[in-house]
A and B are shown apart, each in its own frame.
Chain A
Amino acid sequence: MTKIKYYNNTLIKRKNLLILIKKAGIKRISKDALDLMEQYFKDELNILSKLLREEIAVNGRKTLKKEDIHQVISMLNKKDISWEV
């Protein structure tokens, strides 16, 4: 197996991610699975950031506030995005 030269660490440090996974009761995780998980976090974060950028523009602000995050997350929870699955 080729050694991974760098970690993504986009959203959460790999070390912390491993701790989180182990706390949840998963004893071992493959490197590929960990990479995939990191990629998934990154994609989700990208979408969330785009939605938040739009939300603050619509509200005429430059500062991201707690209520923007609540608004976007409630909007995401309401939606049933079936085409991405």
Chain B
Amino acid sequence: MKSENIPIDLKTKSLIKNKLRIYLNDKDILDVILFGSIVKGKIMPEDIDVALITDKEIKADINGFHITTLRLQEFFLSPPSIVHTLLREGYSLKNDIFFSENYKFLSRVLFVYELKNLNPSVKVKIVTLLRGKGKENGLVRENGGEWLANQVFIMPLKADNLLERFLINFKINYKKYFLLMH
């Protein structure tokens, strides 16, 4: 199964895979998982977060990569917070799918916003930009999102960064929740 929401373009992915080739070819490493800003749609992140799932002792150091090693038992016995992060947003480079998709879950981000404090013309502008006008899709649908209710929508992980920047830019009060949908 190939992920429908590949967070990074093919060229960047092959560049990353090339840099991590030794770990991807190592049979003692169960998985090489990308997480952090690159998965959330940041076009040029300063560094790339990677988790190696292995029981082997590895001292990984690649320029521009922040590599964390996780033992398999850490997923079951008092899991550290990085395990939650991997479930939420990890992208498996060995399987080319989101880590959560291994368990038939879909990673999504839910945004809830309110426009109370804004003046009417700005409110109209924001609604038009988010929902679109006439036949034109707004920011939400254009980026693979879906409206659940008034002022509530879900987005694929890759559009998280874009939508968050938009809401912050217009000083909109919002709350963000990460979802795993089955």
Contacts and interface: CB of A to CB of B under 8 A. Distances in A.
Q: Do A and B come from one complex?
A: yes
A73 to B, nearest CB: 12
Interface in A37-67: 43, 47, 50-51, 54, 57-60
Interface size classification for chain B = 20 to 34
B63 A82 contact: yes
Could you say which of B65, B125, B126, B129 has the most chain A C-beta atoms within 10 Å of its C-beta? B129
A57 B138 CA distance: 10
B125 A60 contact: yes
A60 B48 contact: no
Contacts of B126: 60
Contacts of A84: 15, 64
Contact of B169 (A50, A59, A81): A59
Q: Report which residue of B44, B64, B166 has the largest number of chain A beta carbons within 10 angstroms of its beta carbon.
A: B44
Interface string B48-66: 1000000000000011110
B125 A76 contact: no
A58 B43 contact: no
Interface in A62-80: 76, 79-80
A85 interface: yes
A58 B162 contact: yes
A6 interface: no
A7 interface: no
Contact of A81 (B44, B65, B165): B44
A36 B96 CA distance: 29
B162 A80 contact: no
B33 interface: no
A7 B48 CA distance: 35
A8 B127 CA distance: 42
B127 to A, nearest CB: 11
B170 interface: yes
Interface in B73-117: none
Contacts of B46: 79-82
Interface in B24-54: 43-44, 46-48
B44 A57 contact: no
Nearest to B142: A57
Contact of B43 (A51, A59, A82, A85): A51
Nearest to A82: B64
Contact of A83 (B11, B19, B162, B166): B19
Interface of B: 11, 15-16, 19, 43-44, 46-48, 62-65, 125-126, 129, 139, 162, 165-166, 169-170
